């Protein structure tokens, strides 16, 4: 039986995935969480089938990992691999408790409860016990999407994920702030989709377009003037990001 501690976005996604793959799953949620599932769900520490667990995934908040690890280690037999799933937490946090059975399984994806994701389309990174690699391959069902990443590399991957997920989302918030009714972010989705398509085959330097890349000072000035009028907090961000583009284009070999 696979135990999953924590029923947030990642915990629920793992539970559904492993259940769909035919594993027997037990998920530990908080007492107030409402959750209907075809697998075992416990709401209390005591109600969780610790002795039956052959693998444990810890899907709790980063700061809780040491506490949770300390609490569960006496309840498990010494041969049970225990993984965390966090981008920015070192493997070393688990090693004092689980020794060579400690591992990390880090899926580089944005999970939201209720939204199925396409396992096998994104990468899953592992570290520590080789069981972590095995589980990453089980989850993806595609070994080509599984990579080893040490804790420092995983931290870098996670920072990059913040740029390409949370900050991309924030840019849509900014764009929507500027837009007059009746227009909405819908007008931008095909544009960003095309940017992603280009990035499949071109470097960001080669794929870049727009006034900052062209050095079109007149348009940059018009844009800044508009922002200062309709959304002043966006003006320094516009300037900061445009300067970033101009500085990397200046250093680039791309014309």
Residue ranges in 183-222 that form contacts with a second copy under rule CB under 8 A = 183, 185-196, 198-200, 203-205, 207-214, 216, 218-219, 222
Cβ of residue 136: shortest distance to a second copy, in angstroms? 14
* Closer by beta carbon to a second copy, 1 or else 211: 211
| Residue in 31, 46, 51, 63 binding a second copy, rule: CB under 8 A | 63
Taking CB under 8 A as the rule, which mask of x and - marks residues 137-176 in contact with a second copy?
----------x-x---x-xxxxxxxxxxxxxxxxxxxxxx
What does the per-residue mask of binding to a second copy show for 106-135, with x meaning CB under 8 A? --xxx-x--x-xx--xxx------------
Total residues contacting a second copy by CB under 8 A comes to 88
CB neighbour class for 225 (10 Å; exposed up to 12, middle 13-18, buried from 19): exposed
The residue (of 2 and 86) whose beta carbon lies closer to a second copy is: 86
Contact mark string toward a second copy, 80..109, x via CB under 8 A:
--------x-------------------xx
Residue whose CB is less far from a second copy, 110 or 134: 110
Q: How far is the CB of 149 from a second copy (least distance, A)?
A: 8
Query: What is the smallest separation between the CB atom of 100 and a second copy, expressed in angstroms?
Result: 25
Sign of CA dihedral 141, 144, 150, 156: negative
Contact map string, positions 5 to 24, toward a second copy, x by CB under 8 A: ----x---------------
Q: Nearest distance from residue 23's CB to a second copy, in Å?
A: 24
């Amino acid at each position: 039986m696979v135990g999953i501690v924590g029923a947030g976005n990642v915990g629920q996604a793992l539970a559904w995935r492993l259940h769909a793959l035919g594993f027997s799953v037990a998920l530990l949620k908080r007492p107030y969480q409402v959750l209907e599932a075809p697998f075992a769900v416990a709401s209390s520490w005591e109600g969780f089938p610790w002795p039956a667990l052959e693998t444990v995934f810890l899907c709790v908040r980063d700061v809780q990992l040491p506490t949770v690890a300390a609490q569960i280690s006496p309840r498990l037999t010494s041969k049970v691999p225990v993984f965390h799933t966090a981008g920015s937490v070192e493997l070393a946090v688990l090693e004092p408790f689980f020794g060579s059975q400690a591992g990390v399984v880090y899926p580089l994806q944005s999970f939201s409860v209720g939204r199925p994701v396409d396992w096998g389309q994104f990468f899953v990174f592992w570290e520590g016990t080789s069981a972590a690699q095995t589980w990453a391959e089980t989850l993806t069902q595609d070994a080509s999407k599984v990579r080893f990443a040490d804790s420092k590399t995983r931290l870098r991957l996670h920072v990059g994920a913040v740029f390409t997920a949370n900050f991309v989302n924030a840019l849509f918030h900014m764009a929507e702030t500027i837009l007059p009714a009746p227009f909405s972010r819908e007008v931008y989705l095909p544009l960003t989709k095309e940017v992603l398509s280009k990035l499949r085959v071109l470097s960001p330097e080669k794929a870049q377009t727009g006034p900052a890349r062209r050095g079109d000072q007149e348009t940059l000035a018009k844009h800044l003037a508009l922002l200062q009028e309709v959304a002043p907090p966006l003006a320094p961000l516009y300037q900061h990001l445009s300067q970033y583009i101009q500085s990397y284009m200046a250093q680039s070999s791309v014309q």
